Structure 1
Amino acid sequence: MSLTLPSRRRALQALSLTLGAPLLARADSWPSKPLRWVVAYPAGGGSDFLARQLAPQLGKQLGQTIVIDNRPGAGGAIGTDAAAKSPADGYTLLSGDNGAMVFNSAMYKKLAYSPSDFAPVGFMARFPLILCVNPGSGFASAKQWLDEVRKQPGKFSYASPGIGSPHHLAMELIKQRSQSFIVHVPYRGTAYAIQDVIGGIVPMAILDTAAGLPQIRAGKIRALAVLSKKRLATLPDVPTFEELGLKDVEVAAWQGLFVPKGTPEAIVNRLSSEMQKALAVPELRARLEDFGLEVAPGDAASLGRFLQAETAQWHALIKERKLSAE
């Protein structure tokens, strides 16, 4: 005998609840074991510092240990791909940044993962960027620097931590806005780039605050301008690019928290809430800010909207300037 319409509906509802029960059970019991936090960059860098400072507090709130798993290489693509292929069960976290979540999908013709393989958890923090020069480079001010690079296209070179890094794309934006040409010298990491700027091998670099501030304070490099909306509290005498007449030159190396797509919504929501709570702890926030970070916790929805805006802006620039990491 066939089921009546109401009976069929009840049967379908019961089946749906039965299929969803294991997922709900996992979310309710989560976390029941240690979590893994993938950082797609080497230990000791800014991304690693943020994760290692935040993980103990977040783990304390969740009642579980969070283990940092550094997977560097290919501009963050190796570690990000490893995270993308992990189970969507709430036990794998990823530090996602401009490179992995925005630039790579436009810079590489073939990419093993897609940013759509992840669900955003929340925005964590940003590293402001600074135009820095060797003190002996002859550049005494940002205005002089701008005049010189405009007048002599191709004469000067700049260092970056690598092709497709926020530092690289930031200088490409400056070059576009200023109608100048400066030769890119990519390095395998920030430490090597700074070393050659200090040594005078390359006259300038775009550096983030975490890497640049200690060297600026030590007098080993000179800060000329910041790529922020307003001057930084840590560098009150250094002008913004807008003060120099270049509009919309605002770039930061940002950090967001992500999980593999398909992670139960209840877990994502709890992670987002606990992450924001952890970043509000005064002692933790003070350590991060002292390192040069701008702490700016946000929820999953706001990170998702931010990611869409970043993708539209930077993919257009990458296409216009014919940039590639191949």
Structure 2
Amino acid sequence: MTLALPRRALVGLGLVAALSPLQSFAQAWPSKPVRWVVAYPAGGGSDFLARQLSPQLAKQLGQTIVIDNRPGAAGIIGTDNAAKSPPDGYTIVTGDNGAMVFHEAMYKKIPYAPGDLAPVGFMARFPLILAVNPSAGFASGKQLLDDIKKNPGKFSYASPGIGSPHHLAMELLKDRTQAFVVHVPYRGTAMAVQDVIAGQVPMMVLDTAAGLPQIRSGKVKALAVMSKKRIPSLPDVPTLDELGVKDFEVTAWQGLFVPKGTPADIVTRLTVEMNKAIATPEVKARLEDFGLEVTPTDGPALASFLQKETSFWHALIKERKLSAD
């Protein structure tokens, strides 16, 4: 005998049947390896962060995390690849100042929009350091600031590339001090640092990942940090605020993102597991020893931060007529 059900019950069963595959998919995630896109070469700061976090995150999720380095075009190639990947929870990507804020204003056109990626949470940030060749003749940060203001165009600075946080940090310093220092962009940090060490260029902005080993070895000299407070790894180096450049703070930050449309419960779990991985004592210790400031948050907090960053930096880029094209 067939039991006849009311029309309303049949509709309800139809909705349950339609939803159950999605629910079971979310509950089963992850059922295969997760790909972590890093839009920069192996060996850099972004790569280091991902490779330090991925084993612990994999352990918590019960699945392998595969680091997929896709460098090129200042991070645009890898970020675009991630943005165009299926929103199924099996692609995550590191997003930074450049990919998520600067590029949209620095280039006439990029192949993705920052909104194509959904924020999972902030991970960490690299403090930035104003550093010089020890033989360049700058005894202190105050002297450097005085010299660049008094001698427009006499000095130059290296950067890892146009549109990098290091480049924009120096442009902000130039804007705040009304100084003119010639920009010498390189394709990557390594070549820029080597030319500063060799005395080809007198100064540059370094992140702690690349800068601390060179500073500790005496190959370059730190004159100021671009954080609000002095950093533990360089307690004797003053902030720019202490040197008279008020309310100055720029860092090279790193957040975790997924393709827009990734199921909300997967994003939530990623946030929880990522924060847990970052807080693991041995992981946190390795990150801090590398010079990172560990600053985990959730997706909404990162989204709010992005809005403020975008508003501030796009205005500066427009005002100073900066362009990567």
* TM-score, length-scaled by structure 2: 0.96
Matches of residues 66-215 of structure 1 in structure 2 within 5 Å? 66-215=65-214
Would you say the 8 A contact 1:23–1:264 is kept in 2?
no
Q: 1:245 to 1:13 in 2, by over 3 A?
A: farther
Question: Could you tell me which amino acid in structure 2 is paired with residue 184 of structure 1?
Answer: H
**Separation in 2 of the partners of 1:131 and 1:16?**
60
Instruction: Kindly tell me the number of residue pairs found equivalent between the two proteins.
Output: 320
1:322 aligned residue: 321
1:294 aligned residue: 293
Structure 1 unaligned blocks of 5 or more: 1-5
* TM-score, length-scaled by structure 1: 0.95
Q: CA deviation at 1:24?
A: 2.0
**Root-mean-square deviation over aligned CA pairs:** 1.4
2:242 match: secondary structure: helix
Spell out, residue by residue over 1:156-190, the C-alpha distance to the aligned partner (whole angstroms, 9 max, x if none): 11001111000000001000000111111111111
1:313 aligned residue: 312
Q: Which moved more, 1:13-22 or 1:84-93?
A: 13-22
Q: CA deviation at 1:22?
A: 2.7
1:244 match: secondary structure: coil
Spell out, residue by residue over 1:39-58, the C-alpha distance to the aligned partner (whole angstroms, 9 max, x if none): 00000000000000100000
**Separation in 2 of the partners of 1:25 and 1:185?**
54
Q: CA deviation at 1:249?
A: 1.5
**Separation in 2 of the partners of 1:148 and 1:60?**
52
**Separation in 2 of the partners of 1:173 and 1:16?**
55
Question: Could you tell me which amino acid in structure 2 is paired with residue 253 of structure 1?
Answer: A
Matched, 1:275 2:294: no
**Separation in 1 of the partners of 2:146 and 2:222?**
17
1:207 match: secondary structure: strand
Percentage identity across aligned positions?
A: 73
**Separation in 2 of the partners of 1:179 and 1:12?**
69
Q: 1:152 to 1:84 in 2, by over 3 A?
A: same
Structure 2 unaligned blocks of 5 or more: 1-5
1:116 match: secondary structure: helix
**Separation in 2 of the partners of 1:17 and 1:260?**
27
**Separation in 1 of the partners of 2:287 and 2:241?**
27
Question: Could you tell me which amino acid in structure 2 is paired with residue 37 of structure 1?
Answer: W
Moved >6 Å (runs of 4+): 10-13
2:235 aligned residue: 236
